[in-house]
Structure 1
Amino acid sequence: MGTPRETEPVTRTRVELPRMPAAGALYRRALLGAVPGLGGGRRGPGLPAVELTAGGMTVDRTHLADYDRVCGFRFTDRLPVTYPHVLGFPLTLRLMTAPDFPIPLTGLVHVGNRITVHRPITADETLDFTTYAENLRPHDRGRQVDVVLVGSVDGKVVWVGVSTYLGRERKPGGGEGRDRSGRPEAPAATARWRVEPRVGREYARVSGDHNPIHTSLLGARLFGFRRPIAHGMWSKARCLAAVENRLPDACTVEVAFKLPVPLPSTASFAVLPDGGFALHDSRGRPHLTGLVR
């Protein structure tokens, strides 16, 4: 709150892509760029002055059913709140792997996500997507940036997702730990879920997010995790699947990602009286907190 934001472009050049990019090739580019001498280079201080668009995205019902199964949603033609994030994810990945994106993809931590659905979207509709970055700002542990993904049908916006990413950086005089003394008591669990290692592999397959921290023990350890961790957007989707019948047709669902969910582990889900929800580990530490408005 009140943190001054770095200069960002007032106008953006619109770049229309002929098709949705392939996520696998973009991940390979990002991983190679993280190797010294293979193109990592210095990053610019600002945001890319572009917005990328890709149109004509249709829903493969087999893929939708696979996504529903992995995340726990009911099998219907109505798209889950989080599904357009998966459809448009390769476009945002293209934006974040560009040389002028200020933070390397391999250094990004997904710390928050806000989705607004203006009306129900069905599997027989065709979506057009636009993505851009905004609000690059300093953070105690580095810099944060918001990546916006907008879904439209026939020229009307029906879905907007905003993912907040933290690029961790070492700062002079840093190293102070987070104060956990005031952590509130975990709410009573509504349900407990056993999250097996296959969740990382299966969600990677249906989402296109093949970051090795989710699918490989070696990959996780290379980035500082003792074992693979679940995707943050799987955690959000799994929570929303648990309250699917309570979600209004138009709503905003905002989550803050806290501690990662190790694979395997047991997570406790709780529905809160104020419209919120939470996911905690077996020791009561929060994985995720969320709110439906």
Structure 2
Amino acid sequence: MANLTLLYAKAALTSFTRRGGALPAASLDAEVSVDPEHLARYNRVCGFGVRDELPLTYPHVLGFPLQVRLMTGPGFPFPLPGLVHVANRISRSRPLRLGEPLSLHVELADLRPHERGQQFDVVTTVAVDGEEVWVDVSTYLRRGGGSGSGSPAGAAAVPEGERAAGGSAPGGRASAPEPAAVWRVPADIGRRYADASGDRNPIHLHAFTAKAFGFPRAIAHGMWSKARCLAAFEGRLPDAVDVDVRFRAPVPLPSRVEFSTSPTADGRRFALWSRKPHLEGVISG
């Protein structure tokens, strides 16, 4: 796997030279065996228990080095600093288990206009013995030169009638749903998740590095937020499942956040709030 520290340095050094209007026709593959110690570290930081079954979000971190290689590789048109992770959808046909050899494939897809700039997908798939069993689609926004059409960044993951919010406040703004749990997110969660995931984007590590990118405090990783929410459903997700989330606002560190969930026709919706919605998602399957 790639040395992510070197790739982040490369991203910083080449950020001013990246131009273009198309994604490169590039993909990367890797064969991966899960390290039990790494899995245990990931489970601890995200709130999962010790189980033989891989958490739904765990293969994302296995594919992350390949994702960064593609986004720092030749022909990629955007500087890595400044890309905004606005959505993530994971589809699984069956649970993955510790000890299974995993075949990873990562590719870039679907560069398209957005009212605030341009967005594109990074698609990661996992196959076992030639059978595709897990697919992750992460959508990123590159701000600037927007089209004036498309969905706003952080738009709801579900139709208006299935919003995770509990209602409307005066002025038509969504109000916070009734919390099922309240979590305190510690100041070091960005560093701890970075150790487990390899994602050492400076906006997640320390207040002083986050300030260089316009954040008053460090912020939690979006994929940590999704994983922490799914840990609340551990042991209750169907074997074949889709989980679609939109990252609506960063979680500043430290924070006190409220987790809510309610049933839908074929699953559940969930949300993470403080004074504003941070994440909204749906589980179906």
Q: Which amino acid aligns with 2:242?
A: T
Deviations 1:29-58 (A, max 9, x none): 112223xxxxx3142210111221112x01
Q: Is residue 51–residue 131 contact of structure 1 (8 Å, CA) maintained in 2?
A: yes
Aligned partners of 1:58 and 1:125 also within 8 Å: yes
Does the 8 Å contact 1:132/1:149 carry over to 2?
yes
Which residue is 1:12 aligned to?
A: none
Secondary structure of 2:174's aligned partner = coil
Are 1:64 and 2:39 an aligned pair?
yes
CA distance in 1, matches of 2:203, 2:78: 18
Q: Which residue of 1 aligns with 2:224?
A: 234
Task: Give the aligned partner of residue 24 of structure 2.
Answer: 48
Is the CA contact 2:27–2:106 (under 8 Å) kept in the aligned structure 1? yes
Q: Structure 1 residue 267 and structure 2 residue 248: aligned?
A: no
Question: Identity of paired residues, percent?
Answer: 55
Structure 1 counterpart of 2:2: 21
Secondary structure of the residue aligned to 2:64 is helix
TM-score, length basis structure 2: 0.88
* Closer/same/farther in 2, CA of residues 264 and 292 from structure 1, 3 Å limit: same
Deviation, structure 1 residue 171: 5.7
RMSD: 1.9
Return 5+ residue gaps in structure 1 as ranges: 1-19, 35-39
| 103, 106, 122: which one aligns with 1:147 | 122
Name the TM-score, length of structure 1 as normaliser: 0.86
Does 2:271 match 1:278?
yes
1:78 has 2:53 as partner = yes
Distance 1:117 1:28 in 2: 34
Letter in 1 for 2:89: R
Does the alignment pair 1:32 with 2:13? yes
- Tell me if 1:109 matches 2:84: yes
| Distance in 1 separating the partners of 2:77 and 2:124 | 18
Aligned to 1:89: 64
Whole-angstrom distance in 1 between the partners of 2:146 and 2:237: 42
What's the offset of the Cα at 1:214?
0.1
Evaluate the alpha carbon distance shift between residue 156 and residue 265 of structure 1 in structure 2; reply closer, same or farther with a 3 A threshold. Answer: same
Three-state SS of the structure 2 residue aligned to 1:272 is strand
Q: Does 1:218 align with 2:208?
A: yes
SS at match of 1:107: coil
Query: Runs (4+) of structure 1 moved beyond 3 Å?
Result: 170-173
Shift of 1:172: 10
Alignment coverage as a number of residue pairs:
263
Measured in 2, the distance between the counterparts of 1:116 and 1:60 equals 23
Residue matched to 1:288 = 279
Secondary structure of the residue that 2:258 maps to in structure 1?
strand
For 1:231 and 1:214, the matched residues in 2 are separated by 6
